[in-house]
Amino acid sequence: MTIQIGDHVPEVTLQRIREGVETLDTNALFDGRNIVLFAVPGAFTPTCSEKHLPGFVQHFEEFRSQGVEVACMSVNDPFVMQAWGQSQHVPEGLMMLADGNGDFARALGLELDASAYGMGRRARRFSLYAEDGVVKLLNVEAPGEFRVSSAEHMLAQLKQDV
């Protein structure tokens, strides 16, 4: 079942690289914070690299000025996410999270079968905003689209919500 507005973010572990590989529990990541999490089907893929991540990089300070943290998640390993973040000049503080086995995408009910493209199981393209671990906004893209999960769309929603 797909996560809905009002649901608590499921507890799963993700990874990222700082001083080494760090494992993060989603409860620790989301609890007590206002956070936008956006997911992409794959690091280094065209739409993800040309539009989705760059929008959040461009608008990162606008999110921070509203007290909102930003995280990018993909079903890739943490080394790929680190390299992708470096290649995209991701600012310090924008978290690049790896859902290596797709456990979080599956727990959210937002898994995508991209086997027809040689990519296996991935996360659907989406964005969500959570306060203290509770989903307040959720934008899930139709297959092959990029509209409602953009940084600009999320910022507009957050401004309406205030």
**Cα Rg of the chain (Å, integer):** 14
What DSSP assignment string belongs to 5-70? TTPBPPP-EEEEESSSEEEEEHHHHHTT-EEEEEEES-TT-HHIIIIIHHHHHHTHHHHHHTT-EE
| H or E segment and range at residue 115 | none
| Catalytic-residue membership of 72 | no
Are the beta carbons of 102 and 108 closer than 8 angstroms?
no
How far, in Å, CA of 42 to CA of 119, rounded? Answer: 8
Which residues pair with residue 71 across a beta bridge? 37, 95
Catalytic position from the list 29, 48, 75, 154:
48
Per DSSP, what are the bridge partners of residue 131?
A: 34, 134
Catalytic residues: 48
